[in-house]
Structure 1
C-alpha cells in the first residue's frame, strides 16, 4: 500500500531503507518531509559539528513520481548518508557514482516540476531555469550571462512575459498576480 500522508511516507521510507544493502547506521539518521522544495525530490543534510545526518524527502516529488520511482530517491539519499557517515563529506563524484550504481540509484534525481522562470541571454544560447524569484530574477541588471557575460532577460515561462530590470519584474509580478 502506497503512503497517503507525509507521516506514512516517512515511515515507509524508513522501512524501505532497512532493506537497502548499504553500510549506513540508520538509527543515526533523522527523516523529515519537505513542503518547500520545488525541484529536488530529496536532500541529505550533514552537520559536521555533531555528525548528524538528516534525509529530507519532498512530499510533492513523491506525489509526482509515485512510490516505485520515489524509492530511487530514497536510495540516492542513502548514498549521501553513507558518504557523510564514512567520509564526512558527500557529492556526486566518482565514489558516489560507483555506490549509486551498486544500488541502482540515480546519480542525479530528476526534478519533479517545471521551472516557472527562465533566464535567457541576449547574445548567446545560454539559459538557466529558476523555480523561485531569486535575486537574479528580481534584479537582472545586476547579473550577467553565465557563458558570455552579456545581459539577459527573464521570462515567466507560462505567460511568456519578459523583463530586463527590477521595475520590469515588479510590473510583471503585479500583472500576473495569482498566475505568478
Structure 2
C-alpha cells in the first residue's frame, strides 16, 4: 500500500532505507518532508558539527512520481548520506555516480514540476528554466546568455508575456496578478 500522508511517506522511506544495501548509519539520519520545494524531489543536508544527516523528501514529487519511482529518489539521497558520513562532503561527481549505479539510483532526479519562467537568448538556442522570480528574472538587463553572452528575454510560460528589463518584470507581475 502506498503512503497517503506525509507521516506515512517518512515512515515508509525509513523502512525502505533499511533494505538498501549501502553502509549508512541510519540512526544518524533524520527524515523530513518538504511542501515548499518545486524542483527537487529530495535533499540531503549535513550538519558536520553534530555528524547528522537530514534527508528531506518532497511531498509533491512523491505525489507526482508514485512510490515505485520515488524509491529511486530515496536511494539517491542515501548515496548523498553515505558520502557525507564517509567523506564529509557530497556531490554528483564520479564517486556518487558509481555508487548510484550500484544501487540503481538516478544520478539526478527528474523535475516533478513545470517551470513557470523561461530565459531565452536573443541570439542563440540557449534557454534556461526558472521556477521562481530569481535575480535573472527580475533584472534581466543585468545578465547575459549563458552560452554566447548576448542579451536574453524572460517569458512567463503560461501567459506568454515577455520582458527584458526590471520595469518589464514589474508590469508583467502587476498585469498577471494572481495568475503569476
TM interval, shorter chain, is over 0.9
- 2:128 corresponds to which residue? 128
Task: Give the whole-Å Cα distance in 2 for the aligned partners of 1:81 and 1:156.
Answer: 36
- 1:152 corresponds to which residue? 152
Task: Give the whole-Å Cα distance in 1 for the aligned partners of 2:13 and 2:61.
Answer: 14
- 2:91 corresponds to which residue? 91
Structure 1 length as normaliser, TM-score? 0.98
- 1:138 corresponds to which residue? 138
Unaligned segments of structure 2, at least 5 residues: none
- 2:169 corresponds to which residue? 169
Q: CA RMSD in A?
A: 0.8
- Corresponding pairs, count: 180
Unaligned segments of structure 1, at least 5 residues: none
> Within 5 Å, which residues of 2 pair with 1:11-50?
11-50=11-50
- 2:54 corresponds to which residue? 54
> Within 5 Å, which residues of 2 pair with 1:59-70?
59-70=59-70
Structure 2 length as normaliser, TM-score? 0.98
Task: Give the whole-Å Cα distance in 1 for the aligned partners of 2:34 and 2:173.
Answer: 26
Q: Secondary structure at the match of 1:68?
A: helix
Following superposition, the deviation at residue 66 of structure 1 comes to: 0.5
